[in-house]
Amino acid sequence: MADTAEFIKDLCTPAFVVDLDVAKRNAAVMLDRFQKLGVQLRPHMKTHKTLECADIMTGGSRRCIVVSTLAEASFYADHGYDDVLYAYPLPRDKVQRCAELCERMALFHVLLDNGPALQELKRRPLKQAREISETTGVELYGIYAHCGNTYGCKGREQIEAIAQETTTNLLQFMERYAVPVHSPLGTNFPNFCNSSIGSTPSCSHPVPDMAMLSEVHPGNYVFYDVQQSLIGSCRLEDVAVRVLTRVIGHYPHRNQLLVDSGWAALSQDGGGCLPTGYAVIQGHPELKLTSMTQEHGRVEPVSGPLDFGQFPLGSMFSLIPYHACATAMMYPVYSVHSQGKIVSTWKPVRGW
Amino acid sequence: MADTAEFIKDLCTPAFVVDLDVAKRNAAVMLDRFQKLGVQLRPHMKTHKTLECADIMTGGSRRCIVVSTLAEASFYADHGYDDVLYAYPLPRDKVQRCAELCERMALFHVLLDNGPALQELKRRPLKQAREISETTGVELYGIYAHCGNTYGCKGREQIEAIAQETTTNLLQFMERYAVPVHSPLGTNFPNFCNSSIGSTPSCSHPVPDMAMLSEVHPGNYVFYDVQQSLIGSCRLEDVAVRVLTRVIGHYPHRNQLLVDSGWAALSQDGGGCLPTGYAVIQGHPELKLTSMTQEHGRVEPVSGPLDFGQFPLGSMFSLIPYHACATAMMYPVYSVHSQGKIVSTWKPVRGW
């Protein structure tokens, strides 16, 4: 289904489009921010799952990334990527595939999480570390936390409070671990040096203590989305992606427009919690995407009667997705543009 | 990411599996039902979008199907399918592609819906038909209704009431159209003979008057799902598909299991409305899939404490999806089995 359009306005819809300039700016800001803090940025690929965007996020180094599936890990290994962290509690059915990936790359990291999470580690800070240390052939390399609770924040102050709390917990654990009260644990792990927190909100507003971490691993920031703008991670104009959709029906008796993006084209994640429904309709704060079927969306005014003359059949809307990760996942191809001119198409890897 | 497992129990998870015997039975029941009624079954492909399942639903004829996207239409045309109906209000940006498909197949049908829908037609039954008739090069071929309002039903009686109402409306329209009060419309359309209603609920419990229709176009029935069982279209044992998932974490302090299916593997459509959350966990009515992130699901007991010993790390759950169409869409490949032994893999077509 190759689309030969030269400009995004001519694409068949629905279409997922990436503003290359905005994505590059988002990536550069994050790279620069953590370079200045002296912290390694290990960007997460789960939002886009493409080679091209990975190159942008790694500044072309093709090293030091996070993936959410082994399909991603294999894909990036195929393209010469190295130092890949599989950010998932190591699943038993995939140990063999992980072992194969270890052979293919200089560094392939896995996470262990057999029950106790950070809460548990805070209570018994050395137990899991000791268990790992006592397992032949396994070295504890670091500790990794997501701080996904930043997604409940509203505004910079709340984000910074959680970023601070998570960083403090991690650093305290590192400190207790590095200088253990009960020897001989301390000398067993010369490589144990890595501390990493993630989440786009916390990495968009890092607290000074984060400079003491070795790594951060945000992912969504290269695209951002409405959710991130509401959390306070970014401005709405930092969102690099859109779903383009066209008006395909007028229903005056329902005061409703029909558009060609249903939940096959726009994720329902977020559940239509916005005042404007399942997305923000760019330039039309007066409209709401009220509901969707597989291939149809219903657009109504937030209040009052609809002026159908303003939206003739075939006219295009640009939807800013609530959750870019979830919506990108619906597309086999992204159309990438600079100021409306299509410059590339990116094909994400799918599956597990 | 070819999975070489011989049995579904050995698949890497999450995995979307189709019980071939159940799917074939569902397809055979529907084919037989409408053959007996003397009505052409034109199955909808949108649920699975694969060649193999299309062959099952058409009884091998490779004719007379419905598609929801032009990607599907092209895919089926590539594989020798003919007589394809594109069940979508003809979108202006795709007219050229539709024209090309018309050249490739003996019959390629499009739908026109410029504003007035069935409600409107009931009030002004001849207006849209006249407009179509007055357009050179366009012939009105039939009338197509979905009766999606059956999705609000509970039980056979309610389904039959809507099936009857829709059929009556369609037949009345046909009658008024075939013998118009205001000539000369009647003689202009010798081909106008087609009346079709769809929806898996109405076609699972057809009313006798549906024998007077020329076609029906259900789609979901080949898989069915929890939603259809709640509507009353099928029994839960008629559902042919599962999402397989494994336990990857124990969180006693949260009374919670972590499983490896998030919203990338199981659609959020339905919004967790079930007493058991986002799916039915086969054999475990006491468990609930309470929430999901991209790659994780959280399972808790419906009430009381969780017996973790019953669900060791690595143990597998079989999830019956709430909406099979929405969940199938998340997978680049389906594993097809007969009594647990993998017999085939099906690859769906994606995009628009």
Give ipTM to 2 decimals.
0.89
Residue B123, pLDDT score: 46
Residues A326, B352: C-beta atoms closer than 8 Å: no
The mean-pLDDT minimum among A112-121, A208-217, A245-254 falls in: A112-121
User: Which chain B positions have a beta carbon within 8 Å of A149's beta carbon?
Assistant: none
CA dist B352 and A14 (Å) reads: 7
Q: What is the mean pLDDT of chain A?
A: 88
Q: Residue B271 pLDDT more than 50?
A: yes
Q: How confident is the model at residue B167 (pLDDT cuts 50, 70, 90)?
A: very high
Q: Residue B125 pLDDT more than 90?
A: no
Nearest to A93 among B1, B13, B352 (CB): B13
Residue A148, pLDDT score: 86
Residue A209, pLDDT score: 93
CA distance A144 to chain B (A): 16
The reply to whether A217 and A274 lie within a common domain is: no
The mean-pLDDT minimum among A140-154, B169-183, B224-238 falls in: B169-183
Residues A249, B120: C-beta atoms closer than 8 Å: no
Query: Is residue A65 in a domain?
Result: yes
The reply to whether A274 and A164 lie within a common domain is: no
User: Which chain B positions have a beta carbon within 8 Å of A352's beta carbon?
Assistant: 1, 12-15, 265
Among the three residues B219, B252, B275, which one is the final residue of a domain in this structure?
B219
Query: Is residue A192 in a domain?
Result: yes
DSSP B113-181: -SS--HHHHHHSTTHHHHHHHTSTT----EEEE--GGGGG--SHHHHHHHHHHHHHHHHHHHHHHHS-S
Domain containing residue A64: CATH number: 3.20.20.10
- Phi-psi label, residue A110: left if phi above 0, alpha if psi -120 to 50, beta otherwise: beta
Residue A94, pLDDT score: 85
Q: Residue B195 pLDDT more than 70?
A: yes
Helix (H, G, I), strand (E, B) or coil at B214: coil
User: Which chain A positions have a beta carbon within 8 Å of B270's beta carbon?
Assistant: none
Nearest to A329 among B248, B264, B313 (CB): B264
Closest residue in A to B252 (Cα) is: A115
Query: Is residue A9 in a domain?
Result: no
Residue A102, pLDDT score: 87
Among the three residues B192, B219, B246, which one is the final residue of a domain in this structure?
B219
The reply to whether B240 and B199 lie within a common domain is: no
Q: What is the mean pLDDT of residues A271-284?
A: 94
> CB of B175 within 8 A of CB of B188?
no
Nearest to A117 among B113, B251, B271 (CB): B251
Closest residue in A to B247 (Cα) is: A91
Q: What is the mean pLDDT of residues B96-117?
A: 79
The reply to whether B92 and B50 lie within a common domain is: yes
CA distance B178 to chain A (A): 26
Residues B1, A268: C-beta atoms closer than 8 Å: no
In this predicted model, which residue has the larger pLDDT, B182 or A320? A320
Q: Which pLDDT tens digit goes with each residue over B284-302?
A: 999 999 999 999 999 999 9
Domain containing residue A253: CATH number: 2.40.37.20
Q: Which pLDDT tens digit goes with each residue over A145-183?
A: 888 899 999 999 999 999 999 999 888 887 776 634 333
Query: Is residue B226 in a domain?
Result: no
The reply to whether A181 and A138 lie within a common domain is: yes
User: Which chain A positions have a beta carbon within 8 Å of B10's beta carbon?
Assistant: 93
In this predicted model, which residue has the larger pLDDT, A90 or B295? B295
Residue B129, pLDDT score: 59
Share of chain B above pLDDT 90, in %: 72
The reply to whether B209 and B64 lie within a common domain is: yes
Among the three residues A194, A222, A250, which one is the final residue of a domain in this structure?
A222
Residues B68, A97: C-beta atoms closer than 8 Å: no
CA dist B113 and B117 (Å) reads: 7
Q: Which pLDDT tens digit goes with each residue over A7-52?
A: 999 999 999 999 999 999 999 999 999 999 999 999 999 999 999 9
Closest residue in A to B347 (Cα) is: A351
The reply to whether A146 and A269 lie within a common domain is: no
User: Which chain A positions have a beta carbon within 8 Å of B271's beta carbon?
Assistant: 268, 271
Residue A120, pLDDT score: 38
Residues A294, B333: C-beta atoms closer than 8 Å: no
Which structural domain range is residue B318 located in?
A: 236-346
Residues B1, A71: C-beta atoms closer than 8 Å: yes
Query: Is residue B148 in a domain?
Result: yes
User: Which chain B positions have a beta carbon within 8 Å of A110's beta carbon?
Assistant: none
The reply to whether B207 and B292 lie within a common domain is: no
Q: What is the mean pLDDT of residues B174-190?
A: 48
The reply to whether B182 and B280 lie within a common domain is: no
Query: Is residue B352 in a domain?
Result: no
Q: How many pairs of residues across A and B have Cβ atoms under 8 Å apart?
A: 130
Nearest to B351 among A115, A263, A333 (CB): A333
Residue B194, pLDDT score: 81
The mean-pLDDT minimum among A113-122, B80-89, B224-233 falls in: A113-122
Residue A347, pLDDT score: 97
The reply to whether B78 and B206 lie within a common domain is: yes
Q: Could you tell me the CA-to-CA distances from B336 to A86, B11, B119, B198 in Å, in that order? A: 28, 11, 42, 26
Query: Is residue A230 in a domain?
Result: no
The reply to whether A259 and A207 lie within a common domain is: no
Q: Residue A184 pLDDT more than 50?
A: no
The reply to whether B240 and B204 lie within a common domain is: no
Residue A133, pLDDT score: 55
In chain B, the number of structural domains is: 2
Q: How confident is the model at residue B181 (pLDDT cuts 50, 70, 90)?
A: very low
Q: Which pLDDT tens digit goes with each residue over B205-221?
A: 999 999 999 999 999 99
Closest residue in B to A117 (Cα) is: B251
Query: Is residue B224 in a domain?
Result: no
Residues B1, A70: C-beta atoms closer than 8 Å: yes
Q: What is the mean pLDDT of chain B?
A: 88
Q: What is the mean pLDDT of residues B3-29?
A: 95
Residue A255, pLDDT score: 97
Residue B218, pLDDT score: 96
Q: What is the mean pLDDT of residues B187-191?
A: 41
